[in-house]
Amino acid sequence: VEEILKPFRLSNENLKEISKRLLKAMEEGLRNKTVGSDHPSIRPSVKMLSSHLKERPNGTENGGFLALDMGGTKLRAYYVEVMNGKIKLEPKSKEWTIPQELKNESGTQLFDYIVKNLGAFVETLKLEGNPKLPLGFSFSFPCDHKSLYKCFLTKWTKGFKCSGVERKDVAKLLREAIGRKGGLNIHPIVMVNDVVATMMSCEDENCQIGMIIGTGTNACYMEEMKNVGTEDGEEGQLCINTEWGGFGDDDSLKDFLTEFDKNLDNESDNPGEHIVEKMISGKYLGEIVWRVLLELKEKKLLFEGSVSDNLRKKDTFETRFISEIEENSEKNGLENADKILSDLDLKVNSTDPSLVKMVCDTISSRSARLCAAALVTIANRIRTNRGLPHLKITVGMDGTVYKKHPNFSEKLKEALRTLSPECDINIKVVDDASGKGAALVAAVAQRLCGQ
Ligand code: BGC
């Protein structure tokens, strides 16, 4: 078992090397002017996209704002009241699970679905009478932002394949769907990536980094304008959406990928793309464990060497099982493992639950440690940009993997402490971060443009 799990165990030295390579990829992304390009040889792996956002709320923003948050699995609508740059009360909200089939339909069907639900939400709040409702749209996919109001989807991730959306302006597609429905006076639509919204929603003036570890993974941070080759201007700072999930797409993680990672990637919807995301995020963690369990079964180290029809299917081992099996009190976790495996009709002997737990722990630890390496890289980038010997910084964090796994946050924090003595990195989890942040971005946009 140890032999099979060994390639997943990344030492501190490995993480330092990975961090060095990530910094290099980030610098390449910042220099690159061909961000929207389709050509793999001129596309940087870590895209370092401009969010067009240079400031946080300054305390003068006021009003009611709608927000939409479209993630990898859920769609959420919010109504947020902002007073003096802060969110007044807990926002009103509603959530829908995006039907799996819709992810393969046309873009028109997807946007009509979004607007149908948004319309119903606006109706329940009796907001239709408002002269016009500004909306912040947190869209959790890589986009080439031309402005806060115009953003072109570069590539679907997280299993979405809706036709007619890639390389199109997402704000325009939403506006057209609002027009098709009629009766909704929504204007303007302000576009923001979910990780940027997460950073914006964190009410801490030291918060200069945002991170998401959920269905997908991403990070953003405040970069000095003078270092951003893709934007004009030298003064001040700009929030950069790193799209670090694409790290490794140029083979820079080749020597750290296991056979399991390679097979998962080859059989995925987007082979060769979002390599590090496939080692880390909730969409893939369950599948990695599943692949390892099958290998252990093959070697007759688990389930008495037999497999059930259930375990033959790719999506049967869900990522949430990892959290249940790693439940903190030893007994609960093992009992959960026993139940999950028995429900999958497997022949479970007395040692199988602890072996499966060991597999889960190894895979989730690798994920947490890779995320720590990314945070350390970004924090050190900010520190050296400012010529500081030491940096105290806050990260606005969101995502189901970070929030729901019983000890993911501990694993990540432990790695942070050993990897970067020069940075004091404080993590702050924000609930409903994307929705709140999108509304705040719409509020800042209103102040800046007076729309
Ligand atoms: C997307 C990012 C997003 C992240 C977290 C990734 O798959 O490319 O844009 O921020 O998931 O939701």
Which of 43, 49, 50, 217 has most ligand 1 atoms within 8 Å of its beta carbon, as the pocket-test mutant? 217
Confidence of residue 56 (pLDDT cuts 50, 70, 90): confident
Confidence of residue 40 (pLDDT cuts 50, 70, 90): low
Q: State the Cα–Cα distance between residues 371 and 6, nearest whole angstrom.
A: 19
Confidence of residue 229 (pLDDT cuts 50, 70, 90): confident
Quote the tokens at residue 64: 């009611």
Strand order in the sheet with 207-213: 49-50, 237-241, 217-224, 207-213, 391-398, 423-429
When pLDDT is averaged across residues 315-342 and rounded to a whole number, the result is 91
When pLDDT is averaged across residues 412-420 and rounded to a whole number, the result is 95
Confidence of residue 311 (pLDDT cuts 50, 70, 90): confident
Cα→Cα distances 90→64, 144, 435, 436, Å: 13, 31, 11, 9
Which pLDDT does position 234 carry in this prediction? 81
Which of 43, 51, 158, 371 has most ligand 1 atoms within 8 Å of its beta carbon, as the pocket-test mutant? 158
Catalytic residue among 69, 144, 194, 398: 194
- Our answer on whether the CB atom of 158 is closer than 6 Å to any ligand 1 atom is yes
Which pLDDT does position 42 carry in this prediction? 57
Q: What is the pLDDT of residues 80-127, one digit of tens each?
A: 999 999 998 888 999 999 999 999 999 999 999 999 999 999 999 887
Q: State the Cα–Cα distance between residues 401 and 217, nearest whole angstrom.
A: 10
User: For residue 218, what is the DSSP state?
Assistant: E
Catalytic residue among 47, 158, 283, 297: 158
Considering the chain, what percentage of its residues have pLDDT values greater than 90?
A: 80
- Our answer on whether the CB atom of 193 is closer than 6 Å to any ligand 1 atom is yes
63 neighbors 127 (Cβ within 8 angstroms): no
Confidence of residue 327 (pLDDT cuts 50, 70, 90): very high
Which of 141, 191, 278, 401 has most ligand 1 atoms within 8 Å of its beta carbon, as the pocket-test mutant? 141
Question: Is residue 128 over pLDDT 70?
Answer: no
DSSP β-bridge partners for residue 241: 49, 220
Helices within 249-399 (DSSP H only): 259-266, 275-280, 282-298, 309-312, 319-325, 330-343, 352-385
When pLDDT is averaged across residues 211-227 and rounded to a whole number, the result is 96
Q: What is the pLDDT of residues 266-285, one digit of tens each?
A: 999 899 999 999 999 999 99
Question: Is residue 196 over pLDDT 70?
Answer: yes
- Our answer on whether the CB atom of 258 is closer than 6 Å to any ligand 1 atom is no
Q: State the Cα–Cα distance between residues 241 and 26, nearest whole angstrom.
A: 11
Q: State the Cα–Cα distance between residues 354 and 139, nearest whole angstrom.
A: 39
Q: State the Cα–Cα distance between residues 21 and 423, nearest whole angstrom.
A: 19
Ligand 1 center–CA 100 separation, angstroms: 18
- Our answer on whether the CB atom of 246 is closer than 6 Å to any ligand 1 atom is no
Confidence of residue 367 (pLDDT cuts 50, 70, 90): very high
Cα 130 to the center of its chain, rounded Å? 33
When pLDDT is averaged across residues 315-335 and rounded to a whole number, the result is 90
Q: State the Cα–Cα distance between residues 302 and 293, nearest whole angstrom.
A: 7
Ligand 1 center–CA 363 separation, angstroms: 20
When pLDDT is averaged across residues 201-209 and rounded to a whole number, the result is 93
Which protein residue's CA is at the shortest distance from atom 1 of ligand 1? 141
- Our answer on whether the CB atom of 243 is closer than 6 Å to any ligand 1 atom is yes
Which protein residue's CA is at the shortest distance from atom 7 of ligand 1? 216
112 part of the active site: no
Question: Is residue 339 over pLDDT 90?
Answer: yes
Quote the tokens at residue 105: 């339909």
CATH class of the domain defined by 63-192: alpha beta
Listed in sequence order, the residues at least 6 apart from 357 whose beta carbon sits closer than 8 Å to its beta carbon are 325, 326, 333, 334, 337
Q: State the Cα–Cα distance between residues 343 and 354, nearest whole angstrom.
A: 17
CATH code of the domain made up of 1-51+204-430? 3.40.367.20
Quote the tokens at residue 300: 């007759």
Ligand 1 center–CA 312 separation, angstroms: 29
321 neighbors 340 (Cβ within 8 angstroms): yes
Confidence of residue 34 (pLDDT cuts 50, 70, 90): low
Which pLDDT does position 232 carry in this prediction? 77
- Our answer on whether the CB atom of 216 is closer than 6 Å to any ligand 1 atom is yes
- Our answer on whether the CB atom of 47 is closer than 6 Å to any ligand 1 atom is no
103 part of the active site: no
Confidence of residue 33 (pLDDT cuts 50, 70, 90): low
pTM to 2 decimal places:
0.94
Q: What residue segments make up the domains of the chain, in order of their start?
A: 1-51+204-430, 63-192
Cα→Cα distances 22→138, 374, 393, 439, Å: 26, 7, 20, 31
